[in-house]
Amino acid sequence: MSTSQFSYSSARLRRVEYLQFGVFSPDEVRQMSVTKQIKVNDRIIPDGITRPETFINGQPVIGGIGDPRMGTCDFRARCKTCDCTYSGSGAKVNDCPGHFGHIELARPMFHVGFIKICKQILSCICFHCSKVLVDERDHRFRAAMRQKNGQRRLKMVYEICKNKGMCEYGDESNMEKVQEGWNLGLQGGITNEQAPKDVGHGGCGGRLPKYRQVGISLQVEFPETMEDIPGSGDKKQNLPADKVLSIFKNITDADCIALGFNPRWARPDWLILTLIPVPPPHVRPSVAIDGAARGEDDLTHNLASIVKANLALLNCVKKGEPSHIISQFEQLLQFNLSTFVNNEQPGLPQAQQKSGKPLKTMRQRLRGKEGRIRGNLMGKRVDFSARTVITADPNLAIDQVGVPRSIAMNLTVPERVTPFNMVLMHQLISRGPLEHPGAKYIIREDGNRIDLRYIKSKSELALKCGWIVERHLRDDDYVLFNRQPSLHKMSIMAHRVKVLDWSTFRLNISVTTPYNADFDGDEMNLHVPQSMTARAEAQELMSVHKNIITPQRNAPVMGIVQDSLLGVQKFTKRNIFVEKDLVMNMLMWVYTWDGKVPTPAILLPDKSQ
C-alpha cells in the first residue's frame, strides 16, 4: 500500500471493549455544526440553515442548503471550513470529508423513528409531574430494575404502567428511602424483605390520560372525571410535540434509568426534534447540467422543503396567526421531516419530484439489497473478477473450472521477473495482449506501467529482474470460484483453470452440490488471486480436494451424481458385458492408462456374428 495515500495514526493501539450507541443531544448537534452565525459583507448570517436556495449565479449560498462551509463537490472549489479540495471517487488523505450543518426548527417536532418509544414513555410517567408511575413497592418493578437491557426494561415498565389511571400520592419526606431502594434494585441486590413498605410514591395525584399513535402524531384522551383539561379543552385531542418535550424535560436522571435510558447517552427529551443535522454535499452531490443549470439530489430537494415549511411556520408564529393556520404549517413541517427519514410510511403520501417520482430519502438509501449496508459495505465491486453463466462439463476434474478464452485474455496475474522465468516472460511479452497465452502490462521498479497494446516491437523489450509482468490467465492457475448466496465455506473454493473456447464457465457436475448450483441459467463469480501468498492459501486451504468433507457434519459434501452414478451402477452389474470397441473407447478417457489392456474375467462370444 502506498504510504502517500495512507497516513498512519500516532495513537496507541487499544482493544475495543464495547460499542456504545446513543442519540445526539441538541447541544451536540449545534457543536458539530459549521453553519453558525457569521458576518458577511456587513450582513449577519443567522445561526443554522435558513435559506432553501443552493446556488445563485453559480455560487453556493451562505446560509443555504449548499452552504460552502459544509464542503464542496466542485473540483475547482475549496471548503470554507477546512480549506481542502474535493477529489471525487479518487479521494486523497487531505480531501475535505464534509461537515454537518443544522436547521433550527420553529416548533419541536416528532422524530418518526422515535414516536412509538415516546408513546411508551408517556404511558410510564405522569402527565403532570413527569414521575414514573410505579416504584420499588411493586415486585414487578423490582424485577424490571434487574434487567440490564434498557429496551427490555422500558418494555417491562410499560407493561406495568400502561393501565394506570392516576399518579399516586406520597410523602415527599420519605423519597430518600425510595431512592435508596431504587439504587439497590438497579444493582440487582434488593429482596422482598429489603423492599421499603412504609414509603409513599411521592406523586401528584393527578388523573392520567390515554395515548394513541395516529400516523406521525400522538392523540391523547383525557378521562371523563378530569377537570381543567389542558390544550383545546376537548376530551380527545392531538398532543403537540412541544408539550411532550416539556413533560420529558422534567424527567429526573433516576427516572431515566428506570425507563431504560442512560442519561449520558440518551435522554427522553432528546427524542423530540428541536433542530436537525444537515448532511454535507458529499452524500447529496449536485450535477451541473448545460453549464448553468444544476440537478440536485433527492435529499437536497427534501431539505429545501423542510426549510421552506420551517420559514413559513416561523413567520406565522411571529405574526400571531390563528392556531388552525399554525397547525397546518406544523403538519406540513412534520410531514417533510418524516419523509426525510422514511418516504415509504404506510398511510402517508410520498414526497415526490416534479415528475411524480418518489424521493429516495434516508431509509431508502440504507435498506435493501441496493442500499449502503448490503450494496456498498457488505458487497462491493472488485477488480480481477469475472461472472458468467455456468454449464456442465463431465470431462473436467472436480477441481478444474473451464474459463472462456476471452476472460482468460482479460484477467491478469502479476508475476515477478526472476532469472528462472526470464525466458518464459519474454515469450509471453512477445505474444502480446491479443494472443493467448500472452501478457498485457509490464510494471517497472519505479511503478511505471507499460501497456503492451501500444508497443510495436515487443520482442525487443529488455526485461530486468524485479519487474512485474501482468500475464494472461492460463491453465492450472488457481482461482477462487463462488456462487451466491455464500451460505457456508464451501460456497467459495479454489479451482484450477482450464482455458476453453466459447463463453461460459464449465464445471464438473459432482462439484455442484456444495455450491447448490444447477445449469438452468445460474451464474458464478471467479476471482484471481494477485499475490503468491494468496495463491498459496487458495491452493492449500481452499482447494476442492481440501473441502470434500464438510465440517458441519463431518461427512462428504460432494460425490458422483446423475450419469456418473448411473454409469457406475450399470457398469458393475454382474450380467453386463461390454464389447471390445467400447472398452477401448473408455480406456482412452483414462488419463493414467499405461497402454495395457487387462485380460477380461469372462470372455463371451458375440452371437450376432
Which pLDDT belongs to residue 532?
94
Residue 571 lies in a domain: no
Determine the Cα–Cα distance for residues 564 and 64; give it in Å rounded to an integer.
Answer: 71
431539505: which residue's cell?
303
Chain-centroid distance of CA 335 in Å reads 26
Residue 462 lies in a domain: yes
Residue 186 lies in a domain: yes
Q: What is the mean pLDDT of residues 235-240?
A: 89
Percent with pLDDT over 70 in the chain: 92
Does residue 96 sit in the same domain as residue 125?
no
Q: What is the DSSP string of 321-381?
A: --HHHHHHHHHHHHHHHHHHH-S--TTSPPPB-TTSPBP--HHHHHSSTTSIIIIIISS--
Residue 267 has pLDDT above 70, yes or no: yes
C-alpha cell at 479: 482461482
Cβ neighbours of residue 202 closer than 8 Å, sequence gap 6 or more: 131, 135, 170, 171, 172, 174, 175, 178
Does residue 267 sit in the same domain as residue 283?
no
Residue 601 lies in a domain: no
Does residue 373 sit in the same domain as residue 452?
no
Does residue 413 sit in the same domain as residue 523?
yes
Does residue 398 sit in the same domain as residue 531?
yes
Cβ neighbours of residue 407 closer than 8 Å, sequence gap 6 or more: 386, 388, 473, 526
One-letter amino acid of 355:
S
Last residue of a domain, one of 325, 346, 377: 377
Of 435, 431, 494, 424, nearest in space to 459 by CA: 431
Which pLDDT belongs to residue 188?
44
Structure letter (DSSP) for residue 132: B
Residue 439 lies in a domain: yes
The better pLDDT of the pair 480, 97 is held by: 480
Q: Parallel, antiparallel, or unpaired for β 412-416 and 439-443? A: unpaired
CA atoms within 13 A on the CB side of 496: 10
Does residue 214 sit in the same domain as residue 149?
yes
Residue 583 lies in a domain: no
pLDDT tens-digit readout, 396-441: 999 999 999 999 999 999 999 999 999 999 999 999 999 999 999 9
Does residue 119 sit in the same domain as residue 263?
yes
One-letter amino acid of 500:
L
Instruction: Give the model's confidence band at 2: pLDDT under 50 very low, under 70 low, under 90 confident, else very high.
Output: very low
CA quadruple 556, 562, 564, 569: dihedral sign: positive
Q: 284 near 299, Cβ under 8 Å?
A: yes
Which pLDDT belongs to residue 420?
95
C-alpha cell at 352: 415526490
CA atoms within 13 A on the CB side of 474: 13
Residue 538 has pLDDT above 60, yes or no: yes
Which pLDDT belongs to residue 609?
63
Determine the Cα–Cα distance for residues 33 and 491; give it in Å rounded to an integer.
Answer: 46
Q: Please tell me the least confidently modeled range out of 3-17, 282-296, 372-386, 468-482.
A: 3-17
Determine the Cα–Cα distance for residues 527 and 382; give it in Å rounded to an integer.
Answer: 9
Instruction: Give the model's confidence band at 58: pLDDT under 50 very low, under 70 low, under 90 confident, else very high.
Output: confident
CA atoms within 13 A on the CB side of 228: 3
Does residue 475 sit in the same domain as residue 528?
yes
| Mean pLDDT, all residues of the chain | 88
Last residue of a domain, one of 333, 360, 377: 377
Residue 69 lies in a domain: yes
Question: Is the bond into 437 cis (omega within 30 degrees of 0)?
Answer: yes
Q: 464 near 445, Cβ under 8 Å?
A: yes
Burial of 453 (0-12, 13-18, 19+ CB in 10 A): exposed
How many other C-beta atoms can be found within 10 angstroms of the C-beta atom of residue 164? 14
Does residue 364 sit in the same domain as residue 396?
no
Percent with pLDDT over 90 in the chain: 57
Q: 302 near 336, Cβ under 8 Å?
A: yes
Does residue 527 sit in the same domain as residue 398?
yes
Give the CATH number for residue 529. Answer: 2.40.40.20
This prediction has a pTM of 0.73
Q: 47 near 286, Cβ under 8 Å?
A: no
Determine the Cα–Cα distance for residues 244 and 511; give it in Å rounded to an integer.
Answer: 62
Q: 95 near 60, Cβ under 8 Å?
A: no
Does residue 171 sit in the same domain as residue 313?
no
Determine the Cα–Cα distance for residues 523 and 508; give it in Å rounded to an integer.
Answer: 15
Does residue 212 sit in the same domain as residue 123?
yes
Last residue of a domain, one of 337, 361, 377: 377
Instruction: Give the model's confidence band at 195: pLDDT under 50 very low, under 70 low, under 90 confident, else very high.
Output: very low
Residue 193 has pLDDT above 80, yes or no: no
Enclosing domain of residue 371: 297-377
Q: 101 near 91, Cβ under 8 Å?
A: no
Q: How many domains does the chain have?
A: 4
Residue 107 lies in a domain: no
- Which helix (H) or strand (E) is 16 found in, with range? none
Of 246, 362, 275, nearest in space to 29 by CA: 275
